[in-house]
A and B are shown apart, each in its own frame.
Chain A
Amino acid sequence: MKVLIPGALRSYTDSAQTEADGATLAEVVAALDLQYPGIAFRMVDEQGRIRRHIRFFVDGQPVHDLGRPADPQGELVIVQALSGG
C-alpha cells in the first residue's frame, strides 16, 4: 500500500512517500522497518502500541488497531502531532 511519511521520519526514507505491504497494518509497519531500519520503533512501542502522538489514517479514517487488515490498494498516512515549545 502507499504510505505517506511525516517530515520527522523522512531521515529514514528520504522521501515523503513509499510503498509497503502486509496482511495487517502491523505487517506493513514491519515491512517499513525492513526497508528503513529503526523507523518502526519511533512510531510503535515495544508492546505494539502506536505511540502517543503518532496517528495512523487509512484511506482518510483514523486507525488505532494495528491488527486491522491492510488493503494493498489503500493509502496509509502517518501523522506526527506537534505541541509545546
Chain B
Amino acid sequence: MNPPRDTAGPVTLLVATRKGAWLYHGDAARRTWQVDGPHFLGHVISHLVLDPRDGRTLLAAARTGHLGPTIFRSTDFGRNWTEVARPPAFAKAEGGAGRSVDHTFWLTPGHASEPGVWYAGTSPQGLFRSEDGGVSWAPCSAINDDPQYRKWMGTVQDGTPDGPKLHSIVIDPRDPAHMYMAMSGGGVHESFDAGRSFAPLIDGLKVVDGFDVNDATFHDPHCIRLCPGNPDRLYQQNHCGLFRLDRPATRWRHIGGGMPAEVGDIGFPMVVHPRDPDIAWVFPMDGTSVWPRTSPGGRPAVFITRDGGERWQRQDAGLPAEQAWWTVKRQAMTADSQPSVGLYLGTTSGELWASTDEGAHWCCIARHLPDIYAVEVAEPADR
C-alpha cells in the first residue's frame, strides 16, 4: 500500500503471473493503459512490488520451472533487472534435515524510516529480512528455527495446494519495530521488536469444525491488511470468514455475518481504503462442499463495506453477469490512493479488471494473460 495522497498522479499496475510479469502504465484518468511486458517470460512470478521510499526500485519474486527460487531487482522501474546476490534461503541444518525455500511468496517494503529494509515471506513458511534493498536476505530465526513455530507451521502436507505460505507481512506505519505476519497454516502473529520475537494473535478467530481453536496450527488466515487511515484497525479474510481487529484489543471480531447467505464470507483477497478505515472490499469465492474456489454461482462480484463490516453491498456493474468461473487470489486485488480510489483485480483466467470509482463500475483492461498471482499498485511520485 502506498502512502495516501490527495491529488491524482500516475498509476502503474504491477502484474505477477504464473508465466511472467507485466506493467500497465495508466494515463492520468486511468482509462487507457500502456502495456510493458512480458518481463521474465516463463518464470513463475509470485509478487512484484515497488519500493515506495524511492519510487523506482522493484523486486520480483521468481521461480523458474524446476529451477530454484530467486529474486530479481530493478532500480529503474523495470527497464533493467539483475538477480539479487543472496535470495531468501533457510539456514543449513546438520544431517540434511533442513528445509529449503520453494519460492518467495510475499514481499513487503520496510518502514519509511528504514530505507533498504524489506521483508519476505516464503513457501514453506519462512520470514526473511533484507537491509540492503533486497540484494541479500537473512533468515529470521525467531520464526524459521523456533520449535514452537515449526510445530505451528505443520508439514507441507498441511498447507495450501501450492505449498504452505508466510504472507501478509504488515509494518505499523507509526513504529518500524511493530509488525504482523500470517501463515497459511499457522495463524496470525505479532512482533514488537522488529521480528526478533513473535506471539500469536488468534483470539476470536474461527477454525474448521472439530479442531482446537486455541492451537495456531489450525488457523488459516488468507490475507490481512492494516488501514492507513487508522493503523490500529486490521481487516482479515480468513479461511473461516471475515474478521476485524481494533487495537489495542487482541480479540478478532467476526464481521462476515452481513454477507448474503448464498455468497458467504469466504475468499482470499482483502482490500482497505487508503484513507477511510470504515471502507473495505472483498472478493468472495465458493467455499462450499469441495471448495470449488470459483465465483459463487459463476457470477463474480466485489463486496464493499462502508461501516467497518456491519453491512456489505454487492458491486458487480461491468463484471460478467453469468458463467464466469474465475476467482481472485489473495495478492491479486488492490487499491490505489487517488482521490477517487481505484480498485484493481487480476483473475485466475488472466484478466485484469479496474474500477476508478471505488468499485461502483468495472472494466476489463487486459485479457489472455497467464493465471494472475498478484496485482500491486505503483504510484511513483516522479518517473
For B89, list chain A residues within 8 Å (CB).
41, 45-46
User: Is B92 positioned at the interface, with any CB of A under 8 Å from its CB?
Assistant: yes
For B83, list chain A residues within 8 Å (CB).
37-38
Chain B nearest CB from A17 CB (Å) reads: 19
Provide the bound-state CA to CA distance between A72 and B56, in Å: 46
For B68, list chain A residues within 8 Å (CB).
41-45, 51
Query: A51 contacts B66, CB within 8 Å?
Result: yes
Most chain B beta-carbon contacts within 10 A, residue among A38, A47, A53, A83: A47
User: Is B338 positioned at the interface, with any CB of A under 8 Å from its CB?
Assistant: no
Query: A46 contacts B96, CB within 8 Å?
Result: no
Most chain A beta-carbon contacts within 10 A, residue among B68, B89, B91: B68
Chain B nearest CB from A83 CB (Å) reads: 8
Query: A47 contacts B70, CB within 8 Å?
Result: no
Q: How many residues of B contact A (CB 8 A)?
A: 20
Given contacts A41-B89, A46-B92, A47-B93, contact A54 B66 (CB under 8 A): yes
Query: A42 contacts B98, CB within 8 Å?
Result: no
Query: B92 contacts A80, CB within 8 Å?
Result: no
Provide the bound-state CA to CA distance between A56 and B219, in Å: 40
Chain B nearest CB from A56 CB (Å) reads: 14
Q: Which residue of A lies closest to B97 (CB)?
A: A47
The digit string for A22-63, where 1 denotes a CB below 8 A from any CB of B, is 000000000000000110011111111101111000000000
Provide the bound-state CA to CA distance between A41 and B92, in Å: 13
For B85, list chain A residues within 8 Å (CB).
37-38
For B297, list chain A residues within 8 Å (CB).
none
Most chain B beta-carbon contacts within 10 A, residue among A46, A52, A54: A46
Query: B65 contacts A46, CB within 8 Å?
Result: no
Chain A nearest CB from B243 CB (Å) reads: 35
For A51, list chain B residues within 8 Å (CB).
66-68
Q: Which residue of B lies closest to A40 (CB)?
A: B68
Query: A80 contacts B65, CB within 8 Å?
Result: yes
Given contacts A46-B98, A47-B100, A48-B96, contact A41 B65 (CB under 8 A): no
Given contacts A37-B85, A38-B83, contact A46 B90 (CB under 8 A): yes
Contact among B64, B99, B100 with A42 in the assembled complex (CB-CB below 8 Å): B64
User: Is B309 positioned at the interface, with any CB of A under 8 Å from its CB?
Assistant: no
Provide the bound-state CA to CA distance between A45 and B83, in Å: 17
Chain A nearest CB from B44 CB (Å) reads: 11
Query: B92 contacts A48, CB within 8 Å?
Result: yes
User: Is B101 positioned at the interface, with any CB of A under 8 Å from its CB?
Assistant: yes
User: Is B87 positioned at the interface, with any CB of A under 8 Å from its CB?
Assistant: yes
Provide the bound-state CA to CA distance between A48 and B89, in Å: 12
For A48, list chain B residues within 8 Å (CB).
92, 96
For A47, list chain B residues within 8 Å (CB).
90, 92-93, 96-100
Given contacts A41-B87, A46-B89, contact A80 B66 (CB under 8 A): yes
The digit string for B67-110, where 1 denotes a CB below 8 A from any CB of A, is 11010000000000001010101111100111111000000000
For B87, list chain A residues within 8 Å (CB).
41
For B98, list chain A residues within 8 Å (CB).
46-47
Provide the bound-state CA to CA distance between A46 and B89, in Å: 6
Given contacts A37-B85, A38-B83, A41-B89, contact A46 B100 (CB under 8 A): yes
Q: Which residue of A lies closest to B42 (CB)?
A: A8
Provide the bound-state CA to CA distance between A46 and B99, in Å: 8
Most chain A beta-carbon contacts within 10 A, residue among B64, B87, B91, B100: B100
The 7 closest A-B pairs by CB, nearest first: A53-B66, A45-B100, A46-B89, A42-B67, A47-B98, A42-B68, A38-B83
- Chain B interface (Cβ within 8 Å of chain A)? 64-68, 70, 83, 85, 87, 89-93, 96-101
- Chain A interface (Cβ within 8 Å of chain B)? 8-9, 37-38, 41-49, 51-54, 80-83
**8 A-B pairs whose Cβ atoms sit less than 8 Å apart in the complex:** A8-B64, A38-B70, A46-B92, A47-B96, A47-B99, A81-B66, A82-B65, A82-B66
Question: What would 8 more interface pairs be, CB under 8 Å, given A8-B67, A41-B87, A46-B90?
Answer: A8-B65, A37-B85, A45-B89, A46-B92, A47-B93, A47-B98, A48-B96, A52-B66
